[in-house]
């Protein structure tokens, strides 16, 4: 795989001997291989390539920084005829580039193509070439990789030999004499010849394609030392001189506004704002127009850089085992053993052909098939017929069989070179087909209905939008500041850029919120934005009377909008909130469908006592929480209201006590089940002062019916208690009768009393049944009346 598309490689004659020091260790005194950084950059097209148009220079002319962590970069310039723009980007910015790149070729020109380097690391790209130079190979190792390649070599005496590389070997070092070093064997027209590498002056590849491939590998090494940038080339096609522009969005630090607020005794207030702008790119900004956008544009990242492959299901072909020639049993010889009995004892039924995986027990590859000669030990399941002749055995399937199991596996021959990696598999794990289907069918997270979605559409190349001097232009719910004067900012430098320096309206106040600070209010300002600018949120340093007074936070403020800011604690003012008990008042009562509905009102009063111990008068703004069910009664209207608080202004003279009383009401509704209500509860309902006469009549009738029910319940309880008492006494009499002599008077008296109690039990049981029947009748009457009665 090549590092980029549409980038031709130019083949040139290249001398290898000039690189001999690099091949032998490259300047390392100990001869060790130096560690190379994991470079990930591939070069842009060479400017000397005659097939490519000349390079163009398009400087950055405009930068728009957003508070969403991105920036829009605009490049513009003149080109003449066909031209090429070469850019380099950090690998992390390529996805944003692919998502946002905008190209314009005016005056009849057009954009031909945009090429860019892929994401593969340099090592992977180099391994994909015909020659691998990633591990700093020696000359002998390099020639060993190219066995079979035709080369032209020249020794130091000028003798030229042309032949194919057969092998590279190292001769034994003699006891005396120099080390012969590595020997290269060549197949020439005159036969095999040897050449000592250290005696060669020049090596040249005969094939131009091989020469260009080798040059390509070295260019990759030369241009990517420690660089993690990717090359992007834009081709413009047209005739004559014309304007072209390139725009794109890239990750950038958000710009940060900060303000200085000066408050004078006479009431004059002035705000000065600055923006922190950082150039974190590797390019200087020279006379660049700067735009600053405040707002919440949606920005996200999407992986458009990595190659994506759609998983497809793997459909296995149906495999049917062939019918095997049957093995016929012999006569009644006790030594005869049918196939599959002893040899397939782990494979199922010892009788031949009874195994689920085919006849012959372990012969056809059952799950644990026995030590069968043709099947191989533990032979591979359904796909292990004859021990791996169809695959799934050999080196991949476990133990080797005697005959099978290795026929399609590893033949035991060591390769002469490492096989090239499958480039598509180097992009990381892929989704399985099931995972892909589950992801496609998955439901996305629903958006939060409480959060508004901001949508803004704007042509980033439209120069007519918001080009005002130190002013701003509305972009939907966003706002842009365009700096009047172009700025020059070197790479990796930062600058403070002026935003605003104008008068605003500010009133000194003290702000009390019990949830912020229970005892003291905070010193602050009631700020009115009288400028024509949208003031983006940021920190504020407050100066009062020419000296530091505190720090505050400024929210987003639109022109003519009023906001509060606080910067210190007002220790000279104390606030005491007093909450009175909640009062409950019944407004109305109604009876319907067996329920009593009571509509009531609740009233609560909170009193704020404000003590001003300062030598100056104070205006204290009290923030009172807004209740979800409570309605403000007094004061009738607050001075201001937010989503969560009412605001009341309380002017307090120096040394005086101010008071604020806030009254709120909340309606309430109660539903009571009249059928299950007791007599005491019904009497309480009947005593409601605000209930109408018709409702009172219903309660009287219900009390009468409930009284009858309770009387019967009382009678039932009395009869049950009497029966229990008699039963307990009879137990005592039984024991006495058993001990007393049968002819004695005591025995007769006990027996007569026992008989009388039996008669009383029968009477009381009859009465108890009558009472229970009467209870059912009264409860039915109570229920029917409660469910049908209506009164308001």
Q: How far apart are CA 231 and CA 115, in angstroms?
A: 8
Q: What 3-state class would DSSP assign to 577?
A: strand
- 30 half-sphere exposure, CB direction, 13 A CA radius: 3
- Tokens 């099947």 label which residue? 375
Q: For residues 575 and 519, is the Cβ–Cβ distance under 8 A? A: yes
- Tokens 């490259």 label which residue? 26
Burial class for 116, CB neighbours closer than 10 Å (0-12, 13-18, 19+)? buried
158-196 in b/e form (b: 16+ CB < 10 A) is eeebebebeebeeeeeeeeeeebbbbbbbeeeeeeeebe
Q: Which helix (H) or strand (E) holds 728?
A: helix 693-739
- Tokens 């000592």 label which residue? 196
Q: What 3-state class would DSSP assign to 391?
A: coil
Q: How far apart are CA 322 and CA 365, in angstroms?
A: 13
**Diameter over CA atoms, the chain:** 157
Please list the ranges in the chain whose pLDDT falls under 50: 1-48, 335-427, 443-476
- 317 half-sphere exposure, CB direction, 13 A CA radius: 4
Q: For residues 658 and 650, is the Cβ–Cβ distance under 8 A? A: yes
Burial class for 248, CB neighbours closer than 10 Å (0-12, 13-18, 19+)? buried
Pairing relationship of beta strands 285-294 and 60-66 according to DSSP bridges: parallel
Pairing relationship of beta strands 538-544 and 493-513 according to DSSP bridges: unpaired
Q: Please, where are the H alpha helices in 8-49?
A: 20-23
- Tokens 């009102």 label which residue? 601
- Closest among 307, 309, 308, 301 to 95, alpha carbons compared: 301
Tokens found for residue 274: 């600055």
Q: In sequence order, what DSSP letters do the residues of 595-641 get, joined into one string?
A: EEEEEEEEEEEEEEEEEE-SSS-EEEEEEEEPPSS-EEEESSS-SEE
Q: How far apart are CA 57 and CA 558, in angstroms?
A: 41
Q: For residues 280 and 492, is the Cβ–Cβ distance under 8 A? A: yes
Cα dihedral sign, 551-552-558-564? negative
Q: What 3-state class would DSSP assign to 510?
A: strand
Q: Which residues pair with 195 in a beta bridge?
A: 184
Tally of CB atoms within 10 A around 734 = 12
- Closest among 62, 68, 74, 71 to 478, alpha carbons compared: 68
Q: In this structure, what DSSP letter does residue 557 have?
A: B
Q: For residues 96 and 70, is the Cβ–Cβ distance under 8 A? A: yes
Give pLDDT, residue 484: 86
Q: What 3-state class would DSSP assign to 123?
A: helix
Q: Which helix (H) or strand (E) holds 102?
A: strand 102-105
- Tokens 């009457």 label which residue? 781
Q: For residues 630 and 604, is the Cβ–Cβ distance under 8 A? A: yes
End-to-end alpha-carbon separation of the chain, Å? 88
Q: For residues 228 and 67, is the Cβ–Cβ distance under 8 A? A: no
Q: Which residues pair with 76 in a beta bridge?
A: 245
Which residues, 6+ apart, have CB-to-CB distance to 148 below 8 Å? Answer: 164, 165
Q: For residues 367 and 347, is the Cβ–Cβ distance under 8 A? A: yes
Q: What 3-state class would DSSP assign to 215?
A: helix
Give pLDDT, residue 525: 94
Q: How far apart are CA 471 and CA 478, in angstroms?
A: 14
Q: What 3-state class would DSSP assign to 746?
A: helix
Q: What 3-state class would DSSP assign to 122?
A: helix
- Angle between the 745-788 and 693-739 helix axes, to the nearest 10 degrees? 160
Q: Peptide bond before 490: cis, by omega within 30 degrees of 0?
A: no
Q: For residues 77 and 57, is the Cβ–Cβ distance under 8 A? A: yes
- Closest among 38, 46, 41 to 7, alpha carbons compared: 46
Integer CA distances (angstroms), 323 to 327, 360, 364, 391, in order:
12, 11, 11, 20
The full set of domain ranges for the chain reads 256-299+459-571, 312-316+361-429, 574-673, 679-788
Q: Which helix (H) or strand (E) holds 275?
A: strand 268-279
Give pLDDT, residue 219: 80
Tally of CB atoms within 10 A around 548 = 10
The pTM (predicted TM-score) of the whole model is 0.58
Q: For residues 634 and 661, is the Cβ–Cβ distance under 8 A? A: yes
Question: What are the two backbone dihedrals, phi and then psi, of residue 392, each rounded to the nearest 5 degrees?
Answer: 60, 25
Q: For residues 488 and 286, is the Cβ–Cβ distance under 8 A? A: yes
Q: What 3-state class would DSSP assign to 729?
A: helix
């Amino acid at each position: 795989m090549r590092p980029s598309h549409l980038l031709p490689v130019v083949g040139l004659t290249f001398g290898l001997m000039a690189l001999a020091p690099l091949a032998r260790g490259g300047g390392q005194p100990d001869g060790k291989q130096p560690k190379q950084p994991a470079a990930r950059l591939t070069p842009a097209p060479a400017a000397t390539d005659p097939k490519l148009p000349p390079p163009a220079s398009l400087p950055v002319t405009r930068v728009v920084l957003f508070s969403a962590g991105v920036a829009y970069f605009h490049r513009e310039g003149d080109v003449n005829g066909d031209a090429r723009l070469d850019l380099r980007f950090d690998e992390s910015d390529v996805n944003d580039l692919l998502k946002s790149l905008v190209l314009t070729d005016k005056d009849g020109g057009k954009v031909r193509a945009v090429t860019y380097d892929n994401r593969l690391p340099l090592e992977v790209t180099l391994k994909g070439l015909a020659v691998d130079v990633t591990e700093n190979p020696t000359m002998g190792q390099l020639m060993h990789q190219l066995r079979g390649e035709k080369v032209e070599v020249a020794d130091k005496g000028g003798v030229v030999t042309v032949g194919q590389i057969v092998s590279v070997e190292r001769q034994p070092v003699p006891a005396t004499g120099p080390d012969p070093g590595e020997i290269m064997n060549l197949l020439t027209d005159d036969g095999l010849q040897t050449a000592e590498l250290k005696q060669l002056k020049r090596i040249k590849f005969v094939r131009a394609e091989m020469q260009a491939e080798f040059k390509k590998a070295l260019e990759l090494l030369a241009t990517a030392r420690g660089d993690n940038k990717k090359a992007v080339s834009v081709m413009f096609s047209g005739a004559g001189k014309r304007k072209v522009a390139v725009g794109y969005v890239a990750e950038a630090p958000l710009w940060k506004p900060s303000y200085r607020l000066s408050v004078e005794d006479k009431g004059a207030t002035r705000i000065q704002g600055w923006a922190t702008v950082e150039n974190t790119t590797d390019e200087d900004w020279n006379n660049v127009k700067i735009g600053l956008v405040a707002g919440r544009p949606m920005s996200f990242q999407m992986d458009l850089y990595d190659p994506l492959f759609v998983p497809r299901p793997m459909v296995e072909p149906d495999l049917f085992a062939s019918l095997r020639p049957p093995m016929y049993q012999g006569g009644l010889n006790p030594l005869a053993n049918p196939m599959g009995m002893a040899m397939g004892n782990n494979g199922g039924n010892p009788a031949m052909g009874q195994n689920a995986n085919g006849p012959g027990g372990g012969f056809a590859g059952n799950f644990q098939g026995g030590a069968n000669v043709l099947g191989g030990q533990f032979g591979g399941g359904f796909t292990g017929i004859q021990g791996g002749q169809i695959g799934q055995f050999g080196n991949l399937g476990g133990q080797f069989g005697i005959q099978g199991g290795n026929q399609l596996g590893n033949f035991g021959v060591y390769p002469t070179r490492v096989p090239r990696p499958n480039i598509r598999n180097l992009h990381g794990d892929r989704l399985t087909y099931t995972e892909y289907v589950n992801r496609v069918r998955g439901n996305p997270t629903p958006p939060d209905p409480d959060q508004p979605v901001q949508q803004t559409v704007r042509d980033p190349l439209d120069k007519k939008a918001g080009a005002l001097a130190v002013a701003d232009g509305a972009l939907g719910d966003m706002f842009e500041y365009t700096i009047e004067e172009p700025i020059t900012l070197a790479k990796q430098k930062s600058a403070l850029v002026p935003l605003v320096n104008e008068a605003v309206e500010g009133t000194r106040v003290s702000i009390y919120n019990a949830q912020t600070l229970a005892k003291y209010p905070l010193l602050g300002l009631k700020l009115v934005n009288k400028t024509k600018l949208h003031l983006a949120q940021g920190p504020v340093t407050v100066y009062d009377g020419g000296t530091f007074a505190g720090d505050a936070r400024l929210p987003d403020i639109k022109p003519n909008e009023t906001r509060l800011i606080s910067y210190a604690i007002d220790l000279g003012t104390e606030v005491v909130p007093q909450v009175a008990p909640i009062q409950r008042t019944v407004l109305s009562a109604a009876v319907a469908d067996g329920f009593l509905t009571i509509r009531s009102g609740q009233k609560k009063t909170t009193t704020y006592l404000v003590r001003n111990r300062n030598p100056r008068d104070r205006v204290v703004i009290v923030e009172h929480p807004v209740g979800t069910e409570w309605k403000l009664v007094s004061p009738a209207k607050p001075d201001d209201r937010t989503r969560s608080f009412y605001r009341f202004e309380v002017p307090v003279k120096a040394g005086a006590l101010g008071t604020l009383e806030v009254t709120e009401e909340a309606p309430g509704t109660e539903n009571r089940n009249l059928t299950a209500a007791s007599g005491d509860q019904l009497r309480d309902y009947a005593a409601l002062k605000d209930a109408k006469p018709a409702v009172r009549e219903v309660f009287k009738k219900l009390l009468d019916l409930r009284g009858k029910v309770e009387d019967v319940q009382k009678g039932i309880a009395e009869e049950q208690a009497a029966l229990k008492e008699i039963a307990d006494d009879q137990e005592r009499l039984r024991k006495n009768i058993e001990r007393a002599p049968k002819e004695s008077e005591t025995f007769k008296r006990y027996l007569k009393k026992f008989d009388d109690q039996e008669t009383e039990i029968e009477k009381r049981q009859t009465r108890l049944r009558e009472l229970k029947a009467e209870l059912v009748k009264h409860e039915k009457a109570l229920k029917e009346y409660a469910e049908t009665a209506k009164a308001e």
